[in-house]
Structure 1
Amino acid sequence: MVMGLGKIFGGAPRLHNPLDEILGINMRNALIAKYNARSAIERARDKVAAKVALEAAGIACTGTVAVIDDHQKLGEFKPLRDMPDAWAIKPARGSQGDGILLAVRREGNTWFKGSGAALTEDAVMHHIQKVVDGGFSGDSAAEDAALIEPLIIADPALAGIVPEGLPDLRVISLHHTPLMAMVRLPTNESDGKANLHQRAIGAGIDMITGRITRAVVKGTPITHHPDTGVPLIGFAIPGWERVLELAANCGPAVGLGYCGADIVLDVNEGPLVIEVNAHPGIEIQNICQEGLKARIAATGEDFR
């Protein structure tokens, strides 16, 4: 077990009102101001810089095909020559999934998205150029980098729950201690994306057992996946101990004291970190129906 979890989650059940334990946005911001230096926040925001820091710390991350961060590299890059049959292109400084382009297979000189839409080499180059020009960075005056990675193939246990797309895990940690976790499960309504705002499922996870305890879509509790009919409550996340180990080390590797680690389960490599968030949201508490405040206090943090 990751050090510190027994202290937080072991022992007799707590008797006080869980609503008293809710971490509000002001308190969350105070934690970020206290433990997340501006330089570390900037490092986490840049997916390439964060990946370099994570890999230097020995943390398993998704692979890298190429990083295109200037127009010289863009001019030398040839997708048909340099890219695999299945891949993901991500803006290094993008957010909320903007600018991510995925190909699931290649036939001849054409790739295909999960929807079946074709992607020519020209279309791929156009997208990479838009990324490098800062089209998805949130600042039109700032150039960006295109991070190209091999496409992750989900662990079959998780893949069997969803109709399509890649489920991912969000684990909130303070220093080396994981505090709360959920899995985000794509639906047909979310267009195969693990995005809660687009009606993906958010499912809370018991930190000790790694089993789903509660699942919701846009605040509505559910017990089964609405598209596949697979039962969710009680489902055990594969490789849970490894997930916790990765999450516990992500923040310190990037320089963050309080963070959210996003982790996927690859069919061959197991748990892999895809991103570290320096401003993790507080909605996870509504999904889990548990508060973060008491868990944070159990680590020794003084809120006064």
Structure 2
Amino acid sequence: MFSALGRWLGLDENALTGGEVLGINMRNALIQKYNPRHAIERARDKVAAKRALEAAGISCTGTVAVLEDNQQVANFKPSRDMPDAWAIKPARGSQGDGILLAVRREGNTWFKGSGAPLPEDMVMHHIQKVVDGGFSGDSAAEDAALIEPLIIADPALSRIVPEGLPDLRVISLHHTPLMAMVRLPTIESDGKANLHQRAIGAGIDMETGCITRAVVKGVPITHHPDTGVNLIGFEIPGWKRVLELASRCGPAVGLGYCGADIVLDVNDGPLVIEVNAHPGIEIQNICQAGLKARIAATGEDFR
């Protein structure tokens, strides 16, 4: 199953077939060992992480603007400075809090995917709330608003989901991708690729890039509940490029163990949107495989 990946990584392919599960304590030990505090802080800040990734030549989502203080906000005018479709993200947000998306524009009014209008004053109010730290998720008094062009999903993926943007999570140790899943939005998840909101988590074969198993809140499924598309066996477009990007993210940000979040753009292919310094272990349940054996195959000593 992992022979091609093993050869690509220079690993023992037989050692990658084990099913030992990585527990939370062992995961925390890996983070403590390989993820220094300054790198964790860099990863938590989407702006700082993006700058580090781009400096390393890693393809990321585009940037319209970064607003880091009230003076920059005062000089910003959405009707002049923003495209027809965009995403506003808090630099230090988490769990999708504070993300605002517009899919089209009419005059000085944008519209959400639901059709709800976003007039210019509402957009500015949201930007100000982001910069004031309203979505930072920690004790930071201030934040930065990262404004990006709206990603349009690769057609092969967009036909699977009713709305929203699917994304990939790839867990890596140093330069070695170990496990991956794709998160697929549903109507019930409100078009968001958030597993806690009942998006689909689908495990991916690391050699072929094909979906092997899909679940919603721990319940196995074979077809997308909204579109009816068969998920099992679906091949992720540009899979080798996805692995190549994921293998470079941790070192670029200064992390030894991380999760890279990647989207597939219709024009630009795989793009990194975020790097997570504390990737969760639920991916093992989704893939029905253990991370411990795959990590051990890289030479990591768990003693």
Q: What interval of TM-score do these two structures reach, taking the shorter chain for normalisation? A: over 0.9
Task: Give yes or no for contact 1:7–1:298 (8 Å, CA) kept in 2.
Answer: no
Instruction: Please say if residues 212 and 287 of structure 2, whose CA atoms lie closer than 8 Å, have aligned partners that are also in contact.
Output: yes
Instruction: Quote the offset at 1:13 in angstroms.
Output: 8.2
Q: In 2, Cα distance between the equivalents of 1:12 and 1:278?
A: 25
Asked if residue 77 in structure 1 is aligned to residue 64 in structure 2, the reply is no
Q: Matches of 1:64 and 1:225 in 2, distance apart? A: 32
Maintained 8 Å contact 1:35/1:256: yes
In the alignment, what sits opposite 1:176?
175
Instruction: Name the SS of the counterpart of 2:295 in structure 1.
Output: helix
Aligned equivalent of 2:261:
262
Partner of 1:219: 218
Q: Which moved more, 1:37-46 or 1:3-12?
A: 3-12
Q: What amino acid is the match of 2:74? A: G
| Aligned-partner SS, 2:79 | helix
Distance 1:138 1:247 in 2: 26
Report what 2:129 is aligned to: 130
Q: Deviations over 1:190-228 (max 9, x none)?
A: 000000000000000000000000000000000000000
Distance 1:29 1:302 in 2: 15
* Aligned pairs for 1:247-286 within 5 A: 247-286=246-285
Partner SS, residue 242 of structure 2: helix
Q: 1:9 to 1:201 in 2, by over 3 A?
A: farther
In 2, Cα distance between equivalents of 1:4 and 1:26: 30
Sort the Cα spacing of 1:4 and 1:38 in 2 relative to 1 into closer, same or farther, 3 A.
farther
1:250/1:276 contact within 8 Å kept? yes
Aligned to 2:89: 90
- Take 2:216 and 2:135, find their aligned partners in 1: how far apart are those partners? 27
> Equivalent residue for 1:10?
13
- What does 1:46-195 correspond to in 2, within 5 Å? 46-139=45-138, 142-195=141-194
Give TM-score scaled by structure 1 length: 0.96
The one-letter amino acid of 1:162's match is V
User: Amino acid of the residue matched to residue 142 of structure 1?
Assistant: A
Q: In the alignment, is the contact (CA less than 8 A) between 1:181 and 1:205 conserved in 2?
A: yes
In the TM superposition, residue 12 of structure 1 has moved relative to its aligned partner by 8.8
Indicate if the aligned counterparts of 2:90 and 2:99 stay in contact, CA closer than 8 A: yes
> Cα RMSD between the aligned structures?
1.5
What SS does the corresponding residue of 2:22 show, helix, strand or coil?
coil
- Please, which runs of 5 or more residues in structure 2 have no aligned partner? none
- Offset of 1:8 from its aligned partner? 4.9
* Residue of structure 2 equivalent to 1:199: 198
Q: Which amino acid aligns with 2:155?
A: P
Structure 1 counterpart of 2:218, one-letter code: G
- Which whole-Å CA distance do the structure 2 matches of 1:178 and 1:67 have between them? 30
| Aligned twin of 1:241 | 240
- Render the CA deviation track for 1:120-162: whole Å, top value 9, x for unaligned: 0000000000000000002365100000000000000000000
Q: Which residue of 1 aligns with 2:293?
A: 294
Return closer, same or farther for 1:144/1:12 CA change in 2, 3 Å cut-off.
Answer: closer
Structure 1 residues 147 and 9: alpha-carbon distance in aligned structure 2, compared to 1, 3 A threshold:
farther
* Separation of aligned partners in 1, 2:140 and 2:250: 29
Distance across 2 between alignment mates of 1:40 and 1:92: 15
Q: Which amino acid aligns with 1:219?
A: G
Task: Could you tell me which runs of 5 or more consecutive residues in structure 1 were left unpaired when the two chains were aligned.
Answer: none
What is the aligned partner in structure 2 of residue 34 from structure 1?
33
**Counterpart AA for 2:85:** A
Q: State the one-letter code of the partner of 1:159.
A: S
Alignment check: 8 A CA contact 1:109 1:121 kept: yes
Q: State whether structure 2 residue 209 is matched by structure 1 residue 210.
A: yes
1-structure distance, mates of 2:85, 2:142: 26
Percent identical residues: 85
Structure 1 residues 220, 281: CA separation in 2 closer, same or farther (over 3 Å shift)? same
Distance 2:107 2:118 in 1: 11
**1:9 shift after superposition:** 7.4
What SS does the corresponding residue of 1:129 show, helix, strand or coil?
Answer: helix
